[in-house]
Amino acid sequence: MREKYLRAVLRQDVGYFDLHVTSTSDVITSVSSDILVIQDFLSEKLPNFLMNTSAFVASYIVGFILLWRLIIVGFPFIILLLIPGLMYGRALIGISMKIREEYNEAGSIAEQVISSVRTVYAFGSEKKMIEKFSTALQGSVKLGLRQGLAKGIAVGSNGITYAIWAFLTWYGSWMVMNYGSKGGTVSTVIVCVTFGGISLGQSLSNIKYFSEAFVVGERIIKVINRVPDIDSDNLEGQILETTRGEVEFNHVKFAYPSRPETPIFDDLCLRIPSGKTVALVGGSGSGKSTVISLLLRFYDPIAGEILIDGLPINKLQVNWLRSQMGLVNQEPVLFATSIKENILFGKEDASMDEVVEAAKASNAHNFISQFPNSYQTQVGERGVQLSGGQKQRIAIARAIIKSPIILLLDEATSALDSESERVVQEALDNASVGRTTIVIAHRLSTIRNADVICVVHNGRIIETGSHEELLEKLDGQYTSLVRLQQMENEESDRNINVSVEEGRVSSLSNDLKHGPKEFIHSTSSRNVREFSELILKDRKSLVPSFKRLMAMNRPEWKHALYGCLGAALFGAVQPIYAYSTGSMISVYFLTNHDQIKEKTRIYVLLFVGLALFTFFSNISQHYSFAYMGEYLTKRIREHMLGKILTFEVDWFDKDENSSGEICSRLAKDANVVRSLVGDRMSLLVQSISAVSITCAIGLVISWRFSIVMISVQPVIVVCFYTQRVLLKRMSRNANNAQDESSKLSAEAISNIRTITAFSSQERIINLLKMVQEGPRKDSARQSWLAGIMLGTSQSLITCVSALNFWYGGRLIADGKMKSKAFLEIFLIFASTGRVIAEAGTMTKDLVKGSDTVASVFAVLDRNTTIEPENPDGYVPKKVKGQIRFLNVDFAYPTRPDVIIFRNFSIEIEDGKSTAIVGPSGSGKSTIVSLIERFYDPLKGIVKIDGRDIRSYHLRSLRKHIALVSQEPTLFAGTIRENIMYGGGSNKIDESEVIEAAKAANAHDFITSLSDGYDTYCGDRGVQLSGGQKQRIAIARAVLKNTSVLLLDEATSALDSQSERVVQDALERLMVGRTSVVIAHRLSTIQNCDTIAVLDKGEVVECGSHSSLLAKGPTGVYFSLVSLQRTLC
């Protein structure tokens, strides 16, 4: 079912996800907890239901044969037994659906937080996110209480069984007195009715699981049966024998399904000749990327048509259409597997030689070969283990290996340094030969050789022509864009022409100033294994206890008391009822009719009293335990998320701690604990109460017979214990398979556009099959053993009954016990034996509960290696921003063999701007990660204001640091909410939000949207363009107003006009602040006070823009500027 469900989800069109019909957290919940509900129902609850139902039917058949009148009179009352269960089931369906919808909101928040943990940490939003998560959970708590009350009423209403029994008792005595029926026959029939009623009650107790399974099953089946408008499984479309690759947009009108009131294209006409390269340029949000989305049939236009080789694309087979195109996105998407497997997403059956050739063509082979595991290197979730440029090159290799007819490049080289960009651009130019290529670029230098350049503005093509033709239009939009970018390079050109001799003096002076004291690079080597040994490992948590779990429920102690009292009282009902039944049967053997009437009246009143007692005790216990379970579940989820958000970033880098797996545990583990406290604990208390009272009554009546009956119970317990061991192993295997399934599903849905573009749905499904195959086989084998043990335990119950009859008969024959006492004790222990058997069915739930509790406390007990709330940490009131790296050794914990820094030193002056430049993978972004203390160095010290960064109270320190990352991370909320994250826990005015947006050049495009600042950004900002997302991220950093500013390619996603305005804003913002700027586009950092050039983890040059240029052609920076100048 997991496979079918995930296949159906991946089959849906992209618009399905945009409309919030489903989300990553929703899919995780279905793949993990929902599938488990169905599995639990089919493997345990349904068999129990069938077994008890058949026992009920058999009991009534035997009773009908013996005394049909009594059965016929009592049979109509069965309807009264069914009504409470049916009413509860109906109410539960509605409540269960609402509970799931409520948790989906909370689960979505958790998924976003975990997958964007660096952004959350950088902006100190942990508390705000936990509060938001807690608020979202409150709705499901209220619904859970309603569910508990409904269950209490429904189960309590089953007490009507005792009222029916009261009537049958009276009618049985009437038959003895008036029809001459034998007391033995009446007693036998009443016993049949008794066991039939008990079996029916136990059968009806499974109605809850029927309802839950029906709710989740209906939801899953609804997705499985949904046929999308753009169906990738539809094989009916045409397949062209030969494809030229001619593309044409004819009068296309389009608006995104999530924003139908905001048209993107009103009348788009565009023709792309086959084999030609057509570039689309224009401002952010003008509709450039939408052209690619429509061509890939992520969406269909509202009006007009899109043609390939003269045929409308909606007439072509969808998968074939997409197989003809290769896509490289602006934000590269990689999957948590090896580099080789990521490249193979482009062509699943490619050989290793083809993989290597594709990597070479994208200039990726060299850096891949430097990794110890080469092409088998794991890239981490979303490629977190690689730099932006490395990720982009792998994404390009993935597109190249596909050998597409149409190549789609959406800012394909935006994340590359100048040298890599030149080589990759040449590779892309070569790859474009003979192919229809659509290029989207902000950097006009990358598309000047395009055959046709189209300028897009407000969803229309306003200019078309070659680079030279468009430049002839002196007042044209393209000419304006080119002039704007040329202005950015003019100063660099002038500086290159400055007298080299004049500059060498300042260069020499600068080198002496930043001499060996700051830039010491030891040539001494250390064994790589020593570095890996320094990485701290997780401390194994102690085995937790249920006592500790209950301690977390301490605030609900009153409800625990009420619940236990109600459960204990209800547990006493069964043995009292059985004892009364045994005593009552002897009444039928009396000869005095007056005595029969008198004693019958007493028992009738007793049974009616038990019915009322059952109703109120069940309401008390189920509502109280639901209250305990819901608030414990909420508290566990809050504590787990709160604890997780204290862990070092390295913890999230590990495969086993992906966002999918963590969110699955938040959903699943807490639910199991709720079931453990809400359902299993009440049953446990009932069982203990029933067994205690049964033993006490039995020992008082006849200690000999009772001791024998008690002594055989351990045999059944041993069987259940053996079953528990097997189930524990099965539970562990199932959990492993489920965690892997959740992780895979989360990653697939998070990157649905990439999956869809490369038609990789079947590849994901095959990976899912591989993940589940091993545990499935083990579970099948162990299920046979568990079934044998369960069957043995059930048969032993019958054998025990036979032993009891034999021994009881011996005691009666020897005159050591009366037949009345035998009936009383036998019925008490028989009915309690059913309780023990039912408690035995808890074994599986207790096993799952035990494993889950261990899982919960493993998280809560884990000590982070980077404590964000160190009580002894220094809390700075103000930070000047002087930053020093002293002899730092560093390697990412997940790749300890790859040394990023060895004996690395650098000084960043407070109040000054320092730019870090160099090739991709040289360690630029690592500097930002170490300043934010996402990681700690293996050796050496990072100091801020002369103090070791490890001595600070980390969250307080981060309040003084603002970060704008290369890949902007937005949360699924409004634009206003996303900007306000920059304010931390402070109260932010609307005017501050607007000012921050204006400073980031975001205000104009925000106000142009129909909902303005209330526009919903979508999951990870999917409803906005890359440039729009980046500007909102910059506005968020502006609002934070810190003394240290970290800009990691902050303007890489902006068009030239926006970049210039935002760059001016950032430069004003950097005044008086310590600013660390990472950039590949050197024109954006030439005004920085200091520029440090990195190569292979070392600072090879340092100085101002002019002093570095003065070194001439021998200088590394001079070479980078010259290279970039030739590219422009």
CA distance 975 to 803: 75
CA distance 55 to 148: 28
Strand 277-281: give its sheet, edge to edge: 325-328, 406-410, 436-440, 277-281, 452-457, 460-465
Task: Find out whether 909 and 1089 touch, Cβ atoms under 8 Å.
Answer: yes
CA distance 11 to 8: 5
CA distance 144 to 310: 58
Q: Is 475 helix (H, G, I), strand (E, B) or coil?
A: coil
For the chain, how many structural domains are there in total? 2
Q: Domain for residue 941, yes or no?
A: no
The per-residue pLDDT for range 685-694, each reduced to its tens digit, is 888 888 889 8
**pLDDT confidence of residue 947:** 92
Half-sphere exposure of 880 (CA within 13 A, CB side): 11
**pLDDT confidence of residue 784:** 75
- Residue with structure tokens 């921050």? 996
Lowest mean pLDDT among 627-631, 920-924, 996-1000: 920-924
**Radius of gyration of the CA atoms of the chain, in A:** 36
Q: Is the pLDDT of residue 485 over 70?
A: no
Grade residue 267 by pLDDT with cuts at 50, 70 and 90.
confident
The structure tokens listed for 14 are 């992209």
Average pLDDT over residues 562-584: 88
CA-closest candidate to residue 1, choices 33, 41, 38: 38
Out of 497-501, 740-744, 1087-1091, the most confident range is 1087-1091
User: Within this chain, do residues 376 and 484 fall inside the same structural domain, yes or no?
Assistant: yes
**pLDDT confidence of residue 927:** 92
**pLDDT confidence of residue 538:** 38
The per-residue pLDDT for range 635-652, each reduced to its tens digit, is 888 888 999 999 998 888
**pLDDT confidence of residue 86:** 66
Task: Find out whether 1020 and 333 touch, Cβ atoms under 8 Å.
Answer: no
CA distance 881 to 903: 22
Q: Domain for residue 1000, yes or no?
A: no
CA distance 191 to 170: 15
User: Within this chain, do residues 699 and 786 fall inside the same structural domain, yes or no?
Assistant: yes
Burial class of residue 554 in the structure, from the number of CB atoms within 10 Å of its CB (0-12 exposed, 13-18 middle, 19+ buried): exposed
Q: Domain for residue 533, yes or no?
A: no
Q: Domain for residue 519, yes or no?
A: no
> In terms of DSSP bridges, do strands 263-272 and 247-255 run parallel, antiparallel, or are they unpaired?
antiparallel
CA distance 150 to 333: 47
**pLDDT confidence of residue 610:** 92
Q: Domain for residue 867, yes or no?
A: no
The structure tokens listed for 1025 are 């363009």
Task: Find out whether 125 and 868 touch, Cβ atoms under 8 Å.
Answer: no
Average pLDDT over residues 243-257: 88
Grade residue 532 by pLDDT with cuts at 50, 70 and 90.
very low
CA-closest candidate to residue 1002, choices 971, 969, 979, 977: 979
Neighbours of 108 (CB within 10 A): 23
User: Within this chain, do residues 442 and 568 fall inside the same structural domain, yes or no?
Assistant: no
The per-residue pLDDT for range 1005-1057, each reduced to its tens digit, is 888 888 889 988 877 777 787 778 888 888 898 888 889 999 888 776 666 66
The structure tokens listed for 464 are 């078309």
Average pLDDT over residues 982-989: 77
Q: Is the pLDDT of residue 750 over 80?
A: no
Domain at 200, CATH number: 1.20.1560.10
Q: Is the pLDDT of residue 350 over 70?
A: yes
The structure tokens listed for 970 are 């937005």
User: Within this chain, do residues 36 and 91 fall inside the same structural domain, yes or no?
Assistant: yes
Q: Is the pLDDT of residue 95 over 90?
A: no
| Share of residues in the chain with pLDDT > 70 (%) | 83
Task: Find out whether 1101 and 1115 touch, Cβ atoms under 8 Å.
Answer: yes
Q: Is the pLDDT of residue 732 over 90?
A: no
User: Within this chain, do residues 191 and 301 fall inside the same structural domain, yes or no?
Assistant: no
Q: Is the pLDDT of residue 487 over 70?
A: no
Q: Is the pLDDT of residue 486 over 70?
A: no
**pLDDT confidence of residue 1076:** 92
CA distances for 796 relative to 192, 692, 792, 912, angstroms = 20, 22, 6, 82
CA distances for 312 relative to 265, 276, 294, 316, 959, angstroms = 18, 20, 12, 7, 54
Lowest mean pLDDT among 125-139, 599-613, 663-677, 734-748: 734-748
Q: Is 804 helix (H, G, I), strand (E, B) or coil?
A: helix
Among 496, 531, 552, which residue terminates a domain? 496
Q: Domain for residue 847, yes or no?
A: yes
For residues 40 and 1111, which has the higher predicted lDDT (pLDDT)?
1111
Average pLDDT over residues 650-660: 80
Half-sphere exposure of 590 (CA within 13 A, CB side): 17
Grade residue 496 by pLDDT with cuts at 50, 70 and 90.
very low
> In terms of DSSP bridges, do strands 311-312 and 277-281 run parallel, antiparallel, or are they unpaired?
unpaired
CA-closest candidate to residue 716, choices 782, 791, 825, 826: 791
Q: Is the pLDDT of residue 948 over 90?
A: yes
CA distance 283 to 1057: 7
Average pLDDT over residues 294-300: 89
**pLDDT confidence of residue 505:** 38
Task: Find out whether 367 and 394 touch, Cβ atoms under 8 Å.
Answer: no
For residues 461 and 841, which has the higher predicted lDDT (pLDDT)?
461
Q: Domain for residue 133, yes or no?
A: yes
User: Within this chain, do residues 717 and 819 fall inside the same structural domain, yes or no?
Assistant: yes
Average pLDDT over residues 1095-1104: 87
Strand 1044-1048: give its sheet, edge to edge: 961-964, 1044-1048, 1074-1078, 913-917, 1090-1095, 1098-1103
Task: Find out whether 1 and 635 touch, Cβ atoms under 8 Å.
Answer: no
Averaged pLDDT score across all residues of the chain = 80
CA distance 1045 to 935: 18
CA-closest candidate to residue 642, choices 130, 138, 110: 130
Q: Is the pLDDT of residue 724 over 90?
A: no
Q: Is the pLDDT of residue 112 over 80?
A: yes
Grade residue 533 by pLDDT with cuts at 50, 70 and 90.
very low
| Helices and strands, counts by H and E, the chain | 44, 20
CA distance 105 to 777: 35
User: Within this chain, do residues 201 and 303 fall inside the same structural domain, yes or no?
Assistant: no
Q: Is 889 helix (H, G, I), strand (E, B) or coil?
A: strand
Query: What distance separates the 2 farthest-apart alpha carbons in the chain?
Result: 132
User: Within this chain, do residues 456 and 343 fall inside the same structural domain, yes or no?
Assistant: yes
**pLDDT confidence of residue 31:** 64
Task: Find out whether 580 and 603 touch, Cβ atoms under 8 Å.
Answer: yes
Lowest mean pLDDT among 91-95, 415-419, 646-650, 1047-1051: 415-419
The structure tokens listed for 728 are 């524990």
Task: Find out whether 111 and 29 touch, Cβ atoms under 8 Å.
Answer: no
User: Within this chain, do residues 561 and 436 fall inside the same structural domain, yes or no?
Assistant: no
Among 840, 860, 880, which residue terminates a domain? 860
801-806 LR contacts (CB < 8 Å, sep 24+): 801/830, 803/708, 803/712, 804/705, 804/708, 804/709, 804/829
The per-residue pLDDT for range 752-763, each reduced to its tens digit, is 788 888 888 888
Q: Is the pLDDT of residue 582 over 50?
A: yes
Average pLDDT over residues 537-541: 38
CA-closest candidate to residue 719, choices 583, 843, 898: 843
Residues 6+ positions from 549 with CB-CB distance below 8 Å:
632, 673, 677, 853, 856
CA distance 150 to 98: 15
Q: Is the pLDDT of residue 707 over 80?
A: yes
CA distance 121 to 296: 36
Among 802, 826, 860, which residue terminates a domain? 860
Grade residue 945 by pLDDT with cuts at 50, 70 and 90.
very high
CA distance 96 to 34: 11
Q: Domain for residue 667, yes or no?
A: yes
Strand partners, 325: 406
Grade residue 916 by pLDDT with cuts at 50, 70 and 90.
very high
Burial class of residue 1031 in the structure, from the number of CB atoms within 10 Å of its CB (0-12 exposed, 13-18 middle, 19+ buried): buried
Q: Is the pLDDT of residue 71 over 90?
A: no
**pLDDT confidence of residue 103:** 79
**pLDDT confidence of residue 522:** 33
CA distance 957 to 878: 9
Grade residue 524 by pLDDT with cuts at 50, 70 and 90.
very low
CA distance 677 to 946: 52
Q: Is the pLDDT of residue 931 over 90?
A: yes
Q: Can you give the residue range of the structural domain that contains 127?
A: 2-226+540-860
Task: Find out whether 939 and 887 touch, Cβ atoms under 8 Å.
Answer: yes
The structure tokens listed for 445 are 């230098």
Task: Find out whether 107 and 29 touch, Cβ atoms under 8 Å.
Answer: yes
CA angle 614-617-621, nearest 5°?
130
Average pLDDT over residues 611-626: 90
Grade residue 205 by pLDDT with cuts at 50, 70 and 90.
low
User: Within this chain, do residues 438 and 557 fall inside the same structural domain, yes or no?
Assistant: no
Lowest mean pLDDT among 415-429, 646-660, 1093-1107: 415-429
Neighbours of 806 (CB within 10 A): 10
Q: Is the pLDDT of residue 537 over 50?
A: no
User: Within this chain, do residues 669 and 809 fall inside the same structural domain, yes or no?
Assistant: yes
The per-residue pLDDT for range 1058-1074, each reduced to its tens digit, is 677 777 777 777 888 89
What does the chain come to in residues? 1128
Out of 434-448, 564-578, 668-682, the most confident range is 564-578
Average pLDDT over residues 103-123: 85
**pLDDT confidence of residue 629:** 87
User: Within this chain, do residues 202 and 259 fall inside the same structural domain, yes or no?
Assistant: no
Domain at 331, CATH number: 3.40.50.300
CA distances for 287 relative to 295, 458, 1000, 1001, 1041, angstroms = 13, 7, 21, 18, 32
Phi and psi at residue 444, to the nearest 5°: -65, -20
CA distance 402 to 323: 8
**pLDDT confidence of residue 738:** 61
